[in-house]
Amino acid sequence: MQSENQGRYKRRALDLDEIKQRQQSKRVRRRVFYVALFSALVLVSTAVCFFVLFKIKTVTVEGVTRYSEDEILAAFDVADGSNLYSFDADNMEKKLVSALPYINSVIIERDLPSTVVIHVEEKDPCMYVELNEEKYLLTDDMHILEYTASADKLYGLLRISMEPKTVRRCIVGEKLAFMDIRTGDIIAQAYSEIIKAGLLSRVEYIDANNRFGIYIGLDDCYEVYMGDIYEFDTKLSFAKGIADKLHSLGGAKEKGKIDVSEINKGIFTPE
């Protein structure tokens, strides 16, 4: 009798364990089903948003002056009706800067549900260089904006005097590249110091064919030998002081050469 009771107890225990396992399996299957259903719903919702919603209906351009809006949109080259996320904004910004040299920077903003806003900041030319009788407009960091044959576009710009043999590469949309890789940075620094000194209206050119022997043209009558870029601001101040003194003494502008390559002395040699 005792063995029969023990047998029944074992069967009941096995039956309970089996029921628990079945219930656990059902719970697991339900979880898997609901997770799969939720994932499917998310995928369907995403697909609906991507293919049905968030389609581009409007593209606006802000900050453009030199380029027309049509030129910006042609370079943007994303068709109306495309999804807002069908293009990579970073790559598109780089593409616009590369395609349109006067653009300094671009920020593309998605304005849900259907608008793209292109924020544009442009560069202005401040210098030009003449190579083999061709003139190229430059920014203050030596980017080449365009080739021009128009004298009107050169008015008020600082001339960079360079011999063709000192230039390695000159392509619109890229930086002007020199045989001496430091030359571009030195010209940019010299230009910056001229701006700080308030002498831009008085300096006609920078000659940096030899970066250790830089010249500038001052007041349309003085060729100023600056030496290297070291303490360029001090040398500019020295040159300005000498030129102002010469003007005050001579009245009319007397042409000649000024040497301020050594900051503790200045030499003027009349023509």
Ordered by start, the domain boundaries in the chain are 1-52, 58-122, 127-270
3 state SS for 14-43: HHHHHHHHHHHHHHHHHHHHHHHHHHHHHH
* Beta-carbon contacts of residue 241 (< 8 Å; ≥ 6 apart): 266
Nearest to 29 by CA among 17, 37, 18, 40: 37
Higher pLDDT, residue 265 or 186: 186
3-state secondary structure of 174: coil
Over residues 232-254, the pLDDT tens digits come to 999 999 999 999 998 888 655 67
* Beta-carbon contacts of residue 177 (< 8 Å; ≥ 6 apart): 167, 168, 169, 170, 184
Mean pLDDT of 40-54: 61
The answer to whether the 58-122 and 127-270 domains have the same CATH topology is: no
Mean pLDDT of 13-26: 64
Over residues 134-182, the pLDDT tens digits come to 999 999 999 999 998 788 899 999 999 999 999 999 999 889 999 999 9
Annotation: CATH topology of 58-122: Ubiquitin-like (UB roll) (3.10.20)
CATH code at 127-270 = 3.40.50.11690
Alpha-carbon torsion 59, 65, 66, 68, what sign? Answer: positive
Alpha-carbon torsion 26, 32, 34, 40, what sign? Answer: negative
Over residues 98-130, the pLDDT tens digits come to 889 899 889 999 988 889 999 999 989 999 999
Question: How many residues make up the chain in this entry?
Answer: 271
pLDDT of amino acid 64: 78
Using a pLDDT cut of 90, give the percent of the chain over it. 52
Between the alpha carbon of residue 56 and those of residues 46, 49, 71, 72, 84, the distances in Å are 17, 12, 18, 16, 6
Q: Residue 44 — pLDDT band, cuts 50, 70, 90? A: low
The answer to whether the beta carbons of residues 74 and 60 sit under 8 Å apart is no
* Beta-carbon contacts of residue 11 (< 8 Å; ≥ 6 apart): none
